[in-house]
């Protein structure tokens, strides 16, 4: 009989209960017990709702108050020295590692964050050294397994595998030169053995061990590590489901099939073509094959016929008892439930499937493959066939004007009129910025008052005219503050924007939007991605009115703010019926028109943010060139329609540029800003190594933490930057936008930033 499985479930709560509780705890309005109760309620609701969908293997242990990798670091005592001995509770140490802390005499920065593979989820990077003292502070997998049992649900515990845990980490500052975290594997394995032994003794039949790095090229160098590790773990553990996702196994399959594991999970949503090869590899082994046929990364209803075809192929060779129908990855990346959406049209709602509905899909597909005669299963199959046919009919419609415009793109449309060296001189005369010009990344704090005004507009409690007057006052407040502290290149603060992607999607043709389809980006930061459903075009100007108004308030130059085409694509739920390249270029053409209109309206600098360009990079190096070609071309297409005096900016965050630096250079932005403070400014050595020639603004402080950087801290960072970068190229700015910060910390931080720039001008004349 074919079983069904969910690899993970959203941990935010159907109504964002976890976000509200965590932020209440940070604000001192909730106790730790209050927070624990909310977490328990959300976990119990998740387990029981997935069970009610008929799923056989229900996950536990993957819930988190902040980040699951941070959870593992805390559980395994991977706690950097800077967080030890501060007199904090274990919970407050945990949150300090995630977001920093600056209160009650404690002042520590947050740990580094990175994107979780090619998703928009951020994880907190573990820090290792020769002195890392692994110990099991608590067995989270065991605790939640027992918690679920008490709620009447038998679960399959989830843990991040030992090799992925180490490879995803980094050497701490105090590590010896040349230290590699993977060298700690022999010290780490006893912790896993204890954890897994405890699970087995508690009655766990299976354990899901996530080893996502097995889809990366680097895994090929770790064959012996995997063989040794799992030979040691398998005898003491419950049955191990070795879990991979987001890409294909390729040559790594050869050694994976030899590991002493009971099951192997593969992602057939992102890499369906690997199925035949995997079946051949495991055919002669006892390994059970878990097929990720229901997408954990998108919101489209699964095509049951296609999924059943893949499942049947595996059954024909392995038999039904060795096949599991599963989500492709954790459903962390999808909203909780479609039931919360009341404003989608019946046609639109019929297209989609969120986490809870996807749990039902795996159960139904498994039932069909098991030969179920249940009339409800037959009805669900027929209903799905009808839904998919209707969606395919809708998808067959296209906008000929948009398609023809994409087809007519020429190389000349991708290039600025003059090289950077010429543009730099023209822009210097036009903008008249000082040395080490100061600016911000775009957004200013989204206050409670701004959110309330937006909500009142939506409810009809404010007229459009009243709302616009409110926004004008907010923009003027931001402009006057920037003038007061003497920032050089100003922004309007984006008070009118709900989200840097959603705002643009709402004013473009081709998108639909949800009310409650929230997904976690990091910590308590949740986003509501728009959904691309058809060809994309711009019916009219999007940002020109507000940028022009802001410029009318000041004699200083105002920077127009746009989100780039690749980021809008990657931070939306994209279409599945056409290529990402086509969608990206449609977005680029819409943004190109906006950029041209902004320049015509008197805006002299325009920032087109692409924080997701690195995140969208395929996980296999052999796939990089094709992606980078259309991704970079999309950015250039959106920015190259202006005159030489228009200064183009772009922003990137949490990106490892080493491997794609030629593509960063090919973007040809006049100024790029990058995250630097959290990563110990290691990125700057990459720029020095490759001889980056355009202007650059490495972030001088981390905006994802509420702590205010001291003035000397910023000066020290600038000094470190100037040891690496030419002073003629340096801009001074924060790491990222200030939307999630409060005004008090924003004011103090930016005052210190401006003072740091003035210090640099005095000392690096």
- CA separation, residue 506 to residues 258, 572, 582, 591, 636 (Å): 50, 12, 19, 14, 23
Euclidean distance between CA atoms 173 and 729, whole angstroms: 28
User: Is 704 a residue of the active site?
Assistant: yes
CA angle 425, 430, 435 (to 5 degrees): 65
In angstroms, the first-to-last Cα distance of the chain is: 76
Give the dihedral of Cα atoms 246, 247, 253, 257; nearest 10 deg: 30
> Is 484 marked as binding a ligand?
no
Q: Specify the residue for token string 């000094």.
A: 719
Distance CA 359, CA 352 (A): 13
172 annotated as a binding-site residue: no
Ligand-binding site membership of 609 (annotated): yes
Residue 443 assigned to a binding site: yes
Length of the chain: 765
The reply to whether 653 sits in an annotated binding site is yes
Q: Contact, 261 vs 631, CB < 8 A?
A: no
**Which DSSP letter does residue 222 get?**
G
Interacting residues of 292 by C-beta distance below 8 A, sequence separation 6+: 7, 245, 265, 266, 267, 268, 269, 326, 327, 328, 329
> In sequence order, what are the residues at sequence separation of 6 or more whose Cβ sits closer than 8 angstroms to the Cβ of residue 339?
356
Exposed e or buried b per residue across 743-762, where buried means at least 16 C-beta atoms within 10 angstroms of its C-beta: eebbbebbebbbbbbebbee
Q: Of 381, 369, 328, 310, which is closest to residue 2 (Cα–Cα)? A: 369
10 Å Cβ neighbour count for 429? 8
DSSP class per residue in 410-474: -GGGGS-SS-HHHHHHHHHHHH---SS-BB--SB----HHHHHHHHHHHHTSS-HHHHHHHHHHH
Q: 498: annotated binding-site residue?
A: no
Q: Do the annotations mark residue 675 as ligand-binding?
A: yes
137 annotated ligand-binding residue: no
Residue 719 corresponds to which tokens in the numbers above?
A: 């000094």
Q: Looking at residue 708, what DSSP letter applies?
A: P
Please give the Cα distance from 630 to 294 (Å, whole number): 28
20 is in an annotated binding site: no
Record the tokens describing residue 407, joined without a space.
């087809």
Give the torsion sign (CA, 298, 303, 309, 315): positive
Q: 29 among the known binding-site residues?
A: no
Q: Six-digit token pair at 192?
A: 């896993």
- Distance between CA atoms of residues 644 and 642, nearest Å: 7
Among candidate residues 68, 265, 492, 704, the one labeled active-site is: 704
Residues 6+ apart with CB under 8 A from 217: 620, 621
Q: Where are the alpha helices (DSSP H) in 641-742?
A: 661-667, 683-690, 711-722
Is 688 annotated in a binding site? The answer is no
Three-state SS at 700? coil
d(CA 534, CA 518): 22
C-beta of residue 210 within 8 angstroms of C-beta of residue 160: yes
Task: Assess contact for 496 and 516: CB atoms under 8 A.
Answer: no
664 marked ligand binding residue: no
Annotated binding site for Zn(2+): 651, 653, 675, 736
What residues are designated binding site for 5-methyltetrahydropteroyltri-L-glutamate?
A: 19, 120, 571
Q: Output the known binding site.
A: 19, 120, 441-443, 494, 571, 609, 651, 653, 675, 736
Residue numbers in the known binding site for L-methionine are 441-443, 494, 609
Query: Annotated active-site positions, please?
Result: 704
Annotated binding site for L-homocysteine: 441-443, 609
């Amino acid at each position: 009989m074919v079983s069904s499985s969910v690899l993970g479930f959203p941990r935010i709560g159907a109504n964002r209960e976890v976000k509200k509780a965590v932020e209440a705890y940070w604000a001192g309005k909730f106790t730790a017990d209050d927070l624990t109760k909310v977490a328990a309620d959300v976990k119990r609701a998740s387990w029981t709702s997935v069970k009610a969908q008929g799923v056989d293997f229900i996950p536990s242990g993957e819930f988190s108050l902040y980040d699951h990798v941070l959870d593992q670091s805390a559980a395994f005592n991977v706690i950097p020295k800077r967080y030890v001995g501060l007199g904090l509770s274990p919970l407050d140490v945990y949150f300090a590692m995630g977001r920093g802390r600056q209160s009650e005499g404690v002042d520590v920065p947050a740990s580094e964050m990175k994107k979780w593979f090619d998703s928009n989820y951020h994880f907190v990077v573990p820090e290792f050294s020769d002195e890392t003292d692994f110990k099991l502070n608590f067995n989270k997998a065991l605790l939640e397994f027992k918690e679920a049992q008490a709620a009447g649900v038998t679960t399959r515990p989830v843990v991040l595998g030992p090799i992925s845990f180490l490879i995803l980490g980094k050497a701490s500052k105090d590590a010896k030169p040349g230290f590699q975290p993977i060298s700690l594997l022999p010290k780490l394995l006893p912790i896993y053995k204890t954890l897994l032994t405890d699970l087995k003794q508690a009655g766990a039949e299976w354990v899901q061990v996530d080893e996502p790095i097995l889809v990366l090229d680097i895994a090929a160098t770790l064959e012996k590590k995997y063989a040794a590790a799992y030979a040691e773990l398998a005898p003491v553990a419950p049955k191990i489901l070795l879990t991979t996702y987001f890409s294909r196994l390729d040559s790594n399959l050869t050694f994976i099939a030899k590991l002493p594991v009971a099951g192997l999970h593969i992602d057939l949503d992102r890499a369906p073509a690997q199925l035949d090869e995997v079946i051949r590899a495991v055919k002669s082994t006892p390994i059970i094959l878990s097929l990720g046929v229901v997408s954990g990364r998108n919101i489209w209803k699964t095509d049951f016929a296609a999924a059943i075809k893949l499942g049947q192929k595996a059954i024909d060779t392995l038999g039904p008892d060795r096949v599991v129908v599963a989500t492709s990855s954790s459903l962390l990346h999808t909203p909780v439930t479609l039931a919360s959406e009341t404003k989608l049209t019946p046609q639109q709602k019929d297209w989609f499937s969120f986490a809870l509905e996807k749990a039902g899909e795996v159960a139904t597909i498994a039932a069909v493959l098991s030969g179920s005669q249940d009339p409800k299963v037959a009805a669900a199959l027929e209903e799905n066939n009808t839904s998919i046919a209707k969606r395919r009919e809708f998808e067959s419609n296209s906008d000929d004007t948009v398609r023809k415009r994409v087809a007519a793109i020429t190389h000349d449309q991708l290039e600025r009129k003059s090289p950077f060296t010429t543009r730099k001189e023209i822009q210097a005369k036009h903008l008249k910025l000082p040395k080490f010009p100061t600016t911000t990344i775009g957004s200013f704090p989204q206050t409670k008052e701004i959110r309330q005004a937006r909500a009142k507009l939506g409810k009809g409690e404010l007229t459009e005219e009243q709302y616009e007057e409110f926004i004008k006052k907010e923009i003027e407040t931001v402009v006057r503050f920037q003038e007061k502290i003497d920032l050089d290149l100003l922004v309007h603060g984006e008070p009118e924007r709900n989200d840097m992607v959603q705002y643009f999607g709402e004013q473009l043709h081709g998108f639909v939007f949800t009310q409650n389809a929230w997904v976690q980006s990091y910590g308590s930061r949740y986003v509501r991605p728009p959904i691309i459903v058809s060809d994309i075009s711009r019916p009219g100007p999007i940002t020109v009115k507000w940028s022009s108004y802001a410029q009318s308030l000041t004699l200083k130059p105002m920077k127009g703010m746009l989100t780039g085409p690749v980021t809008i694509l990657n931070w939306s739920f994209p279409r599945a019926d056409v290529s990402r390249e086509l969608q990206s270029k449609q977005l680029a053409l819409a943004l190109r028109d906006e950029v041209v209109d902004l320049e015509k309206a008197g805006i002299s600098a325009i920032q087109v943010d692409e924080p997701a360009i690195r995140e969208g990079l395929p996980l296999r190096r052999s796939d990089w060139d094709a992606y980078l070609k259309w991704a970079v071309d999309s950015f250039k297409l959106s920015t190259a329609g202006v005159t030489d005096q228009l200064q183009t900016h772009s922003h990137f965050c949490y990106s490892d540029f080493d491997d794609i630096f030629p593509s960063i250079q090919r973007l040809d932005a006049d100024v790029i800003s990058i995250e630097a403070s959290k990563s110990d400014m290691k990125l700057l050595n990459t720029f020095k190594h490759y001889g980056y020639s355009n202007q650059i603004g490495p972030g001088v402080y981390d905006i994802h933490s509420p702590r205010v950087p001291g003035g000397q801290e910023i000066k020290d960072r600038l000094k470190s930057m100037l040891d690496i970068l030419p002073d003629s190229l340096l801009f001074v700015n924060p790491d990222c936008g200030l939307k999630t910060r409060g005004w008090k910390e924003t004011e103090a931080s930016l005052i210190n930033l401006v003072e740091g720039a003035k210090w640099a001008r005095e000392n690096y004349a």
